[in-house]
Amino acid sequence: MSASREKKQRQGAGPDPKAAKAQQEQAAHKRQTIIYAVTAAVIAVLVIALLVWRSGFFQGRAAAATVGGETLTTAELSFYYQNARSSYANPYLSAYYGFDTTKSDEDQFYDEANGVTYRDYFLETALTNAQQHLALAEEAVKQGHTEAEVKDDLAAAVENMKSSAASSGYSYAAYLRANFGPYMTAGIYEKLTTRYLMASLVATDNANELFDSFTADELEAYYKEHTDGLDTIEYSYLYFQIPTVNTKDEEGNELAEDALQKLKDDVKADAKKNAEDAVAEFKEGEAVSHLKEHFSPTSSGDHVKTVGTGSINQEYSAQLLKLPKEGAEMVETDNGYYAIFFHDRYRDEEPTRDVRHIAILADTTTDEDGHAVAPTDEAWAAAKEKIDSIQAEYEAGAKTEDAFAALANEKSDDGNGTTGGLYSRIASTNTTLVPEFLNWVYEDGRQPGDVGIIQHSAAENDSNQYWGYHLMYYVGENEPIWKSSVRSALGSEAQEAWIEELSSAFPTALAGGADYLGK
């Protein structure tokens, strides 16, 4: 075989060893590069997924409940959950309810006897409210209402939320998350607020229709069946709390067990004796105001006037109603003693009253704990200047009730502008209105058409946490307190039954996304 032919045969047989090795190394390097690239891409995807997970993107969009044919996401259910929770988490009320905001909701009992945690309760309330809002909103549409009707109210709600956010140092989005949970967005808040406003339209229509629908015979019959809840009751009380004793002596040493127990027995006996003596002196003719001054009770109420037993302290309400007129009794509780004094109960024929008002609120700020801070002198002055200018505008016009109502619709800060600022059938026993408001309405000699300005400053633990002025217009008297109370009771019962019937078409169930709430 010639040399040239032998060379050709070797070439046809494949690459030489050096070339093969080089190709193998190149291929291996290429495979390794591909592996590194794929691994890096996987890691990047995992990092992104982790960041998205931590942001609540997936949790907020998880199915948390079904209401009728609609699925609520975790974010949507949290709107209702946090609303249910808000009163209990309020810094002014949490101690009263025994709710600890530093603990998870599922670690605290709402009803320990039945094993119901606060999380259970808030979820149940959230589902009920979601169900009712959806049922009522759809009924509103059936009755011809549209979202255009609540457009201004929604804008006002959003503006109020943005204003509160700014005064607290938050963005709008961050403030929504602070109030409604980490999954809340502006879109969800505004969607569900619109639903609530639509539901309110039809609920208000129904309530007004029901309120005026009852006959005189129906009012009378209901009153006779529910006198405990509808009679006006006048009573007084003094409360003597058992003081907490110091467990150490003057030198800082722990007291012996028997000495400590004697000290506790002594302060308990003193509290009991004060209550017993107050009862005895009242029976001898001493006025409650003098008893209060003499005994310095922990808390007291002199001639409290209320409709029904609902607002009377349940620790002594049963005993109070058993007392004869101007009777008195001592009631022992776990932490102290009440001296209770029953004055009278009767069907209240006093007329209720109607009034219109225009509210102008003074601007406030919040402290580092999120609590409202009283207005500055400048803020008060600005609010006063504004309310004075509104009064001047009224005085320069027709000075009629309709003219006042039009100004209320245009200028009032209290959110009920579409009603012309009207508060109807106000009873002298009303406990929801601030005292300045009620006192003006019931001032001696008040006449229809009277106009005046009142000022309200929020007090610590005040349920009406606002500062500002009211321009008042007195409309006149309305039906007696007892009739108005019966209308409200009958109307509430009828509306509750109506809402339950509507809601029955929207069955509810929790889903997995609810696990992200309250833990």
**Domain assignment present for 512:** no
Q: Which domain holds residue 286?
A: 232-346
Domain membership of residue 13 (yes or no) is: no
Residues 297 and 355 in one domain: no
Mean pLDDT over residues 398-405, rounded?
97
pLDDT in tens, 204-215: 999 989 998 999
- 11 in a structural domain: no
> Is there a domain that residue 310 lies in?
yes
Say what the pLDDT of residue 382 is: 97
Closest CA to 239 of 300, 288, 290: 300
Mean pLDDT for the stretch of residues 56-75? 87
Residues 363 and 457 grouped into a single domain:
yes
Q: What is the mean pLDDT of residues 137-164?
A: 93
**202: pLDDT confidence band, cut at 50, 70 and 90?**
very high
The larger pLDDT score, comparing residue 5 to residue 323, is at 323
Domain C-terminal end among 145, 177, 211 = 211
- Domain total for the chain? 4
Instruction: Write down the mean pLDDT value for the chain.
Output: 87
Domain-embedded: residue 226:
no
Segment among 271-275, 366-370, 373-377, 470-474 with least mean pLDDT: 366-370
Residue 486 lies in a domain: yes
Distance, in Å, from the CA atom of 337 to the CA atom of 348, rounded to the nearest integer, reads: 31
Residues 329 and 377 in one domain: no
Q: What is the mean pLDDT of residues 5-29?
A: 47
Q: How many residues does the chain have?
A: 519
Q: CA 485 → CA 211, 306, 425, 439, 442, distances in Å? A: 10, 11, 9, 20, 18
User: Quick one: average pLDDT of 170-189?
Assistant: 94
Q: What is the CATH number of the domain that holds 356?
A: 3.10.50.40
Same domain, 306 and 320: yes
120 and 200 co-located in one domain: yes
Residues 19-47 have a mean pLDDT of 50
CATH of the domain at 277: 3.10.50
- How does residue 248 score in pLDDT terms, banded at 50, 70 and 90? confident
Domain end among 312, 346, 380: 346
Answer yes or no: do 38 and 81 share one domain. Answer: no
Cβ neighbours, 10 Å, residue 86 = 13
So what's the pLDDT on residue 29?
Answer: 52
Q: Is the residue at 390 inside a domain?
A: yes
pLDDT band at 415 (very low <50, low <70, confident <90, very high): low
Q: Which residues, 6+ apart, have CB-to-CB distance to 160 below 8 Å? A: none
pLDDT, residue 5, reads 41
CA distance 169 to 213: 49
pLDDT at residue 72 in the model: 96
What percent of the chain has pLDDT above 70? 86
Query: Structure pTM?
Result: 0.69
Q: What is the pLDDT, as a whole number, of residue 108?
A: 94
Torsion angle of the four alpha carbons 30, 35, 40, 41, in this order, in degrees rounded to the nearest 10? 100
* Contact by Cβ (8 Å): 242, 267: yes
Cβ(219)–Cβ(286) under 8 Å? no
Please say if the pLDDT value at position 452 is more than 50: yes
Is the domain of 397 the same as that of 271? no
Query: What pLDDT does 48 receive?
Result: 41
List pLDDT tens digits, range 313-369.
Answer: 999 999 999 999 999 999 999 999 999 999 999 999 999 999 999 999 999 887 776
Q: Is residue 16 part of a domain?
A: no
pLDDT at 478: 96
Instruction: For residue 50, name the pLDDT band (cuts at 50, 70, 90).
Output: very low
pLDDT score, position 464:
64
For 248-253, what is the mean pLDDT? 81
Shared-domain flag, residues 246 and 365? no
pLDDT of residue 163: 86
Would the pLDDT of 12 be above 50?
no
Mark whether 363 and 460 lie in a shared domain.
Answer: yes
